[in-house]
Amino acid sequence: MSDIIWVEKYRPRSLSDVVGQEQIVSRLKIFVENKNLPHLIFSGPAGVGKTTCAHAMVRDLFGTNYSRDLVRELNASDERGIEIIRTTIKEFARQKTISGIPFKIMILDESDNMTSAAQQALRRTMESYSKNTRFILLCNYSSKIIEPIQSRCAVFRFSPLKDEEIKQRLEYISNLEKIKLNSEALKAILYVSGGDMRKAVNVLQAASASTKTVDQDAIFKVTGKARPEEIQKMLQLSLEGNFLQARKMLQDLLLKYGLSGIDIVKQIHREIYNLDIEEIQKVKLADKTGEINFRLIEGADENIQLSSLLAQFSNLKNIA
């Protein structure tokens, strides 16, 4: 097994190598061609290519001139206060670039975790030093970025990657690493990753640590996820009125996979929509599942709440 994390080892170094996000990549390539760009906000869920696109675009933009003196990256969730804006970021932004390079780039990851005061200070820095420095803000939720910053930036919204896009990348990596990845294992990775490329690659590396033949069992073992068919069977037993049998299966799943109550609820919620029942019944069950999820987050007892949820599945006809 390689001593390099595969997420970094196989990260695209150019926009042309980026998987998915075609519309966003095509717009970023225009910035590269024009050798200029505005301040940017990359918004979207985890593992969909925000950081990769930022670094790939910068490498394409600067070419052989790419260096740490021209590009600085900070994780705004670790250094989220106003002091870091007034010192590190402002100091970098105010420095002039070397001859022939129009501007430097500051990448702020998880910028939606910055305090309001820090964002206000950042707004002023972005305004004052725009000739020297361009900012790329990476975040999960652009709504958490204050409006004055949003209005200064071009906002790019990333969506979860398609299964086919993740599948192609996993097959590419498995061929290079000489790993046998069967179709069932691939399907399992797509199920647990949920459109997150980083998670998919990490799962593949973890599953291949002990064997070069990765199967479905290895995937669910390293991720601590129950098989979807097992969740479906448990729910079906409940719907048929076999509450005690369904509850026993729940206990077996908790012991077998070491799942938390919230993990189980999330998988139950996902499988509700695959059940062969009427849509109005799915609505009722989704509503009850959401209520149980809230109680668990608030600290309620897992066994009691999960048993209550299965009981409500068994009593579906009487749910108002």
Can you read off the two tokens belonging to residue 243?
Answer: 């509450």
- CATH 3.40.50.2300 assigned to domain 163-223? The reply is no
Q: Where in the chain is CATH 3.40.50.300?
A: 6-157
First to last CA, the chain: 55
Look at domain 228-318 and name its CATH class: mainly alpha
> How do the residues of the chain divide into helix, strand and coil, expressed in percent and rounded to 5?
60, 10, 30
Looking at residue 72, its pLDDT comes to 87
Alpha carbons within 13 angstroms on the beta-carbon side of residue 205 total 18
What CATH code is assigned to 6-157? 3.40.50.300
pLDDT of residue 155: 93
In b/e form, how buried is each residue of 293-302, taking b as 16+ CB within 10 angstroms? bebbeeeeeb
C-alpha dist (Å) from residue 241 to 245, 247, 265, 318: 9, 11, 19, 12
Which residue type is seen at 3? D
CB 306 within 8 A of CB 261: yes
- Side chain identity at residue 300, one-letter code: A
pLDDT at site 113: 86
pTM of the model: 0.82
Q: What is the pLDDT along the chain (320 residues), one digit of tens a residue?
A: 456 788 888 888 899 899 888 999 999 999 999 888 999 999 999 999 999 999 999 999 988 888 777 888 888 666 666 777 777 888 888 887 776 678 899 999 988 888 888 888 889 888 888 888 999 999 999 999 999 999 999 999 999 999 999 999 999 999 998 999 888 999 999 999 988 999 999 999 998 887 888 888 888 888 888 889 999 999 999 999 899 999 999 988 888 777 888 989 999 999 999 888 889 999 999 999 999 999 999 999 998 999 999 999 988 866 65
Where do you find CATH 1.10.8.60 in the chain?
Answer: 163-223
Q: What is the DSSP string of 17-54?
A: G--S-HHHHHHHHHHHHHT---EEEEE-STTSSHHHHH
